[in-house]
Amino acid sequence: MTTAGGTPLFLLEFGDIVISFTPYTTSLFILALVFTLLVIASRPERQLDIAFGTDAYMTKEISLSEMRFRRFMAIACGLASMGAVVTGDLFDFCLFTALVGICNVGIVAAVKSRHVQNAAYQYGLVALAATVLLFGGSAMVAATTGTLSLPILATGTLPAVPLAVKAFIVIGVMGEGMAPFYAAKAEMFRAPGAPYVIMCSLSSLLIFLRVIEVVVQL
């Protein structure tokens, strides 16, 4: 059985849910794992800001309680990303993707900055709206083919999934933080705490890379 990501190196079965490690998904999984370990091991940087019109500059410090909360959300985001890139079930993929969106908001939720909070709120609205397309697309795949299992869908023996349904799923994932919807998210990167903020862009990128494989084999 060959999928768009290559021949599976091994399959991990949980009942009827199969976790599929192809060369492609394994590469993405390793990257998500490496960055999650970095989140655990790294301390946040102290961001410098120049006071406009003067020679002065300020250093932003992150309090311990804020750091703990954001690190927890970043680790949760890493775990959700790992789940999204290796799952062999379309519904689970959508679920992990929605979880990534929630965690992204959580990563910056404790930052005490009006700009960051506004950006997180707007991004949250876009991500929330995107889940409708995401789960709607997933439901339509089930209605068309009778299954949500990605390895079975990749066999090509089932009825073809309409192009509009594939577009629903892709737009749903894009709503979780890819172009052009990242515009809502860009201000979130003003927040200090590089190891945690970086998970916001990494997780969106990983789920976008995975959805390409998913859509190609539908």
Q: What residue ranges bind another protein (CB under 8 A)?
A: 4-6, 23-24, 27-28, 31, 34-35, 38, 41-50, 59, 163, 178-180, 182-183, 186, 189-190, 192, 194-195, 197-198, 201-202, 205, 208-209, 212-213, 216
Compute the least distance from the CB of residue 143 to another protein, in Å. 22
Choose between 70 and 135: whose C-beta lies nearer to another protein: 70
Q: Which is nearer to another protein, 16 or 49 (CB)?
A: 49
Nearer to another protein, 135 or 207 (CB): 207
- DSSP notation for the chain: --BTTBS-SEEEEETTEEEEE-HHHHHHHHHHHHHHHHHHHPPPP--EEEPTTSS-EEE----HHHHHHHHHHHHHHHHHHHHHHHB-BHHHHHHHHHHHHHHHHHHHHT---HHHHHHHHHHHHHHHHHHHHHHHHHHHHHHHHS--BHHHHTTS-SPPPPHHHHHHHHHHHHTTT-TTGGGGTGGGGGSS-HHHHHHHHHHHHHHHHHHHHHHHH-
Beta carbon of residue 89, minimum distance to another protein (angstroms, whole number):
20
| Nearest approach, Cβ of residue 208 and another protein (Å) | 8
Q: How far is the CB of 15 from another protein (least distance, A)?
A: 28
* Least distance between another protein and beta carbon 212 (Å): 6
Cβ closer to another protein: 25 or 131? 25
133 vs 191 by CB, closer to another protein: 191
